[in-house]
Structure 1
Amino acid sequence: MHSTPAVAAQAVEQLPLELAASESFPHPGRDHHTGPLDLNRHLIRRPASTFVLRLSGDSLASIGLYDGDEIVVDRALDPAPGRVVVVVVDAERRVGVMEVHDGQAVLVSDVETIPLTGAVAPWGVAICGIRHLPYGV
């Protein structure tokens, strides 16, 4: 007897755009919203401390962030192991995953490991990644 593995359900917030499971596009009569789609409302909790940065290079490809992707960074969040963190090194922003090696906090990417010190302190924590898809594929 062949059994299908169980799939865990994940809670998600429903956005204003609604599609029935069997539809590809909404019915023209239902093609309206009760208000504008506001990505700020969905992505940004603290506007005064939130910034968008564009990534350059593929040093985070192993976690699904690539050249040209954008990350939403909240400077009010505390960095912690496992979070994607932005630091400033020699006036240049670097992004990686914060880890602790032998009691020392470090920023790890696919190409380098940077010890976090007084001179290299966390600048902000990424809360979301945005990928721009190619047109007409």
Structure 2
Amino acid sequence: MYIYTVVFLMKVIPIMASAGISGFESPASEYSDLGLSIEDLIIKNPNATFIGQATGTSMIGVGIFDKDILVVDRAVQRKNHDVIVCTYNGEFACKILDVDNRLLISANESIPPIRINELDSFRIEGTVICSLRCHRPCYLPGE
């Protein structure tokens, strides 16, 4: 997993795409002056938020696929069964956190849970707030 700091700005226009419409005013015209941003929608703690890129298939059961972009918040209060990003024995991982049983759970039945014991190096880096899927290649800094 690669880690990046959030530094992007974007405007979002809330419209529904529809095929076959011609000769009408754009349905987005009434939204042209709204200052909407994706940051306002998903980033609540800008100074504690970072993005990373998922690799592998261990989280497909919760809709996180290979090369998806993860928005991770370090300031969010974690709850049992949250999707988290952590370092486990020197490797970055994205897993479901089972606090009660001290487990890191994959969202893929073919990958067994990992028990966290006292000898393991383990640190939670943050809670995954959302994942973004690029429909064209995404080029993150450092690639």
Q: Same fold (TM over 0.5)?
A: yes
**Could you tell me which amino acid in structure 1 is paired with residue 25 of structure 2?**
H
Q: Would the aligned equivalents of 1:17 and 1:33 in 2 still touch at CA under 8 Å?
A: no
By how many angstroms is 1:122 displaced? 1.6
C-alpha distance 134-20 of structure 1, shift in aligned 2 (>3 A): closer
Distance, in Å, in 2 between the alignment partners of 1:50 and 1:108 is 23
Q: What is the TM-score with the length of structure 1 in the denominator? A: 0.70
Partner of 1:57: 56
Matching of residue 104 in structure 1 with residue 101 in structure 2:
yes
SS of equivalent to 1:121:
strand
Letter in 1 for 2:57: D
Judged with a 3 Å threshold, the aligned counterparts in structure 2 of structure 1 residues 24 and 132 are, in CA distance, closer, same or farther, namely: farther
Letter paired with 1:84? V
Looking at CA atoms only, which structure, 1 or 2, has the larger radius of gyration? 1
**Residue equivalent to 1:113:** 113
Letter in structure 2 aligned against 1:17: P
RMSD across aligned C-alpha pairs, in angstroms? 3.1
Identity %: 23
Aligned counterparts of 2:56 and 2:63: Cα–Cα separation in 1: 12
Any unmatched runs of 5+ in structure 2?
1-11, 138-143
Structure 1 residue 76, shift from structure 2 partner: 0.9
Larger RCO: Structure 1 or Structure 2 (Cα < 8 Å, ≥ 6 residues apart)?
2
Aligned pairs for 1:67-106 within 5 A = 67-100=66-99, 103-106=100-103
Residue 34 to residue 90, structure 1, CA distance change in 2 (3 Å) = same
Offset at 1:78? 2.7
Structure 1 SS opposite 2:85: strand
